[in-house]
């Protein structure tokens, strides 16, 4: 099971020493975890994800090239056409053999109409399911994961939304259930912070150990 740690800001080098699969950098200015400045030097085994919320296409392309992002996470109301345009414009903005992956986020509260995913299938590499809240992410609440029993796609997805140390038992149970068949990665953020963008390394270590011992994939 892959791990993405999002909301990098104050101590990304420390977090990177834990060797997660993905580190997320938020490029939405209203966020208390907004990232700007110089990107830390990371191991090539860690993929850098840029998180955007209804940003102009040009901005996403420019930041992808500037920070050499491996993936972009679209956390707003981006359309199918937007995703398609982004994918088709990547080659002219990034001198790399492989274009960044596109992760499209969908927020869930009590239920979800999975039919909306169908038209995004061809323009996204992954889906991410988060909890619907006041903010586009980082709300600290989980949604009812049993909703994912109805997941109709074989596209891999990231599971997000208020996952913390208190979620370990529930998460281990979920990862043994049929609903997790296409769960590709776990995405954590606010529940592992001592302040916005400052991650608690000790808690992350505990979580990583539990994830590795409870579900090997």
Count the domains in the chain.
1
The answer, as to whether pTM is greater than 0.75, is yes
**Phi-psi category of 112—alpha, beta or left, where left has phi over 0 and alpha has psi -120 to 50?**
beta
Distance of alpha carbon 161 from alpha carbon 209, whole angstroms: 20
Query: Smallest Cα–Cα separation from 35: which of 1, 6, 72?
Result: 6
pLDDT band at 217 (very low <50, low <70, confident <90, very high): very low
Question: For residue 153, what are the domain limits?
Answer: 2-214
Model pLDDT, residue 133: 59
Query: Per residue in 60-102, pLDDT tens?
Result: 999 999 999 999 999 999 999 999 999 999 887 765 667 899 9
63: its two tokens: 């930041």
Model pLDDT, residue 136: 54
CATH classification at residue 208: 3.20.20.70
Distance of alpha carbon 59 from alpha carbon 163, whole angstroms: 30
CB 52 within 8 A of CB 60: yes
Distance of alpha carbon 17 from alpha carbon 12, whole angstroms: 9
57-67 and 80-93 are packed helices; what angle lies between their axes, rounded to 10 degrees? Answer: 40
Instruction: Provide the percentage of residues in the chain whose pLDDT is more than 70.
Output: 92
């Amino acid at each position: 099971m892959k791990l993405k740690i999002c909301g990098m800001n104050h101590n990304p080098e420390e977090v990177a020493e834990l060797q997660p699969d993905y580190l997320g950098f938020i490029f939405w200015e209203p966020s208390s975890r907004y990232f700007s400045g110089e990107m830390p030097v990371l191991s090539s085994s860690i993929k850098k994800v840029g998180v955007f919320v209804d940003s102009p296409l040009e901005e996403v392309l420019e930041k992808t090239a500037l920070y050499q992002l491996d993936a972009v996470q679209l956390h707003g109301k981006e359309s199918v056409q937007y995703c398609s345009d982004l994918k088709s414009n990547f080659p002219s903005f990034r001198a790399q053999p492989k274009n960044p992956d596109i992760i499209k986020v969908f927020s869930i509260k009590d239920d979800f109409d999975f039919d909306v995913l169908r038209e995004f299938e061809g323009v996204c590499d992954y889906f991410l399911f988060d909890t619907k809240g006041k903010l586009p992410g980082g709300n600290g609440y989980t949604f009812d994961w049993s909703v994912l029993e109805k997941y109709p796609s074989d596209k891999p997805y990231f599971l997000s939304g208020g996952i913390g140390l208190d979620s370990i038992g529930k998460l281990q149970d979920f990862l043994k259930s049929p609903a997790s068949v296409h769960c590709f990665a776990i995405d954590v953020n606010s529940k592992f912070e001592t302040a916005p963008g400052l991650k608690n390394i000790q808690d992350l270590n505990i979580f990583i150990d539990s994830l590795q011992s409870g579900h090997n994939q």
